Amino acid sequence: MKPSRSRRLSVESLEGRRLLAAVNIPDDLTSAPDAIVSVPVNIDSATGVRAAEIRLSYDTSVLDLDADDIDFGSVWGTDGDTQVTANVDDAAGTVVIFVSASSALTDVSGSLVELPFSVASDAVVDSTSVLDLTEVSLNEGQITVDPSPVSGTDSTDGLITITAAATGDDSISGFVYADADNDNSLGTGEAIPGVTITLTNTSTGAELQTTTDVDGSYEFTDLAPGEYEIVQSQPVAYLDSGDNELTVTLVEGTTLEDQNFRELGLLPQFIFNRLHTNTVMPVGSDNWNDAVSDLNTFAESTESSSSASAATASFSDAAASTSSASGAESTTTSTSDSNASGEPLFDQAEAEPLASVAANVVTAQTAGMATPVASSDDDSDENEAVDEVFASNLF
């Protein structure tokens, strides 16, 4: 008979146990030249993680990255207060990312961050590009990363294989517009140019990007059959209709048209006087389209600004330059500097207030103002009428 053995049980406190996590970049990523590949930095278990510092390097001859495009990953969910700060040195090909939230994560797996790399148009098909994960610190080192990433080749590094673009005869096209008259169709003067549209093949992850033309149109051609996701980057100057994403299916020989994105109109702080001057009339003309393009560019560049008055002054200067370049003369008026809410009305030293946009590019709620007010240098009664429209409907 074998002698019996007793086993002594031990208890280890959760606080005393050192947490472990494995972090890496996938090594099976693929992308075609002149496309975008979304690169995740994955973690197998995010238990207790509330902050991460991530460093990596990449080949700048093949890949390009904009710090503003880096986003937090799937482990943080969608309803939290996650913050991402990134620094990209495109000359050196290095990236430093800080991501954090106020509360620690539970036992979830997925990506800590997502990095949308643009692949060079001259990238060689069948070649590979290494993404060297050089350092990861979780909770300032309180959670151990195992294996620990190091500079140079190791198991945590990612790999992108350059593949030939999947091509076909299919296409997807549509428009982005501000539905001023609420008729669910693109009307004169409602086109929104310069909006970024991203097309993703959900099967392969391959991405293509384009921007809307002066008539608000976009198009992707030479597409292979498959499932696609179309995402619009919300134009800053416009009221969001809430529909910024479409999912479509392409079958062989398909031409998908009218994959449109509808906005509700200009936000009040971006309704500039310049849009109702003789220099940009009539609505829908080349000068009008140039002025709207300038407005959209300006709105993007001042997205974080909270000063509507500064925005107006800067845009007026930009629009004046456009008008000057086209040989047109600007008109000036003098009118009241206040509105019904007691806040300053937009500076009207450059031009008359916008009335045509109230019918063509503003919100559906103001769509009843369908008749533009004609521009005049000296008609103060007309200016007062337009001021009243602004005060009653927009402020």
Angstrom distance (rounded) from CA 102 to CA 257: 44
Is 346 contained in some domain?
Answer: yes
Pairing of strands 158-162, 29-31: parallel
Q: For residue 280, which amino acid is it?
A: V
Angstrom distance (rounded) from CA 395 to CA 393: 6
Walk along the chain (395 residues) and give the pLDDT tens digit of each residue.
555 555 555 544 444 444 789 999 999 999 989 889 999 999 999 999 999 999 999 999 999 999 999 999 999 997 678 999 999 999 999 999 999 999 999 999 999 999 999 999 999 999 999 999 999 999 999 999 999 999 999 999 999 999 987 778 899 999 999 887 888 888 888 899 999 999 998 877 788 899 999 899 999 998 988 899 999 999 988 988 888 999 999 988 888 999 999 998 888 878 777 777 777 778 778 888 888 888 888 887 776 554 444 444 444 444 444 444 444 333 333 333 333 232 322 333 333 323 333 334 333 333 332 333 333 333 444 444 433 333 333 22
Report the predicted TM-score, pTM, of the whole model to 2 decimal places: 0.54
DSSP of 190-254: -B--S-EEEEEETTT--EEEEE--TTSEEEEEEEPSEEEEEEEPPPTTB---S--EEEEEE-TT-
* Residue 249 in tokens: 């299916």
Handedness of CA 362, 364, 365, 367 (dihedral sign): positive
* Residue 358 in tokens: 């109230």
Asked if 216 and 197 count as a contact pair (C-beta separation under 8 A), the reply is no
CB neighbours (10 Å) of residue 98? 15
Angstrom distance (rounded) from CA 36 to CA 27: 16
Q: Give the end of a domain, one of 219, 244, 263.
A: 263
* 227-261 exposure pattern, b = at least 16 Cβ within 10 A, e = fewer: ebebbbebbbbbbeeeeeebeeebeeeeebeebbb
- Same-domain pairing of 311 and 256: no
- Same-domain pairing of 364 and 309: yes
Q: Provide the residue range defining the domain that includes 248.
A: 170-263
Q: Give the end of a domain, one of 263, 287, 304.
A: 263
Structure confidence at residue 180 (pLDDT): 79
What digits encode the pLDDT tens for the residues 201-251? 887 778 889 999 989 999 999 898 889 999 999 998 898 888 899 999 998
Is 385 contained in some domain?
Answer: yes
Alpha helices in the chain (DSSP H): 286-301, 308-325, 356-360, 380-393
Closest CA relative to residue 324, chosen from 284, 274, 378: 274
What digits encode the pLDDT tens for the residues 99-142? 999 999 999 999 999 999 999 999 999 999 999 999 999 999 99
Asked if 328 and 287 count as a contact pair (C-beta separation under 8 A), the reply is yes
Structure confidence at residue 192 (pLDDT): 92
Is 3 contained in some domain?
Answer: no
CA neighbours closer than 13 Å in the CB half-sphere of residue 171: 11
Number of structural domains (the chain) is: 3
- Same-domain pairing of 234 and 311: no
Structure confidence at residue 79 (pLDDT): 64
Domain CATH code at residue 209: 2.60.40.10
Handedness of CA 255, 257, 259, 261 (dihedral sign): positive
DSSP 152: S
Angstrom distance (rounded) from CA 256 to CA 275: 34
Is 375 contained in some domain?
Answer: yes
Structure confidence at residue 379 (pLDDT): 41
CB neighbours (10 Å) of residue 9? 4
Asked if 91 and 26 count as a contact pair (C-beta separation under 8 A), the reply is no
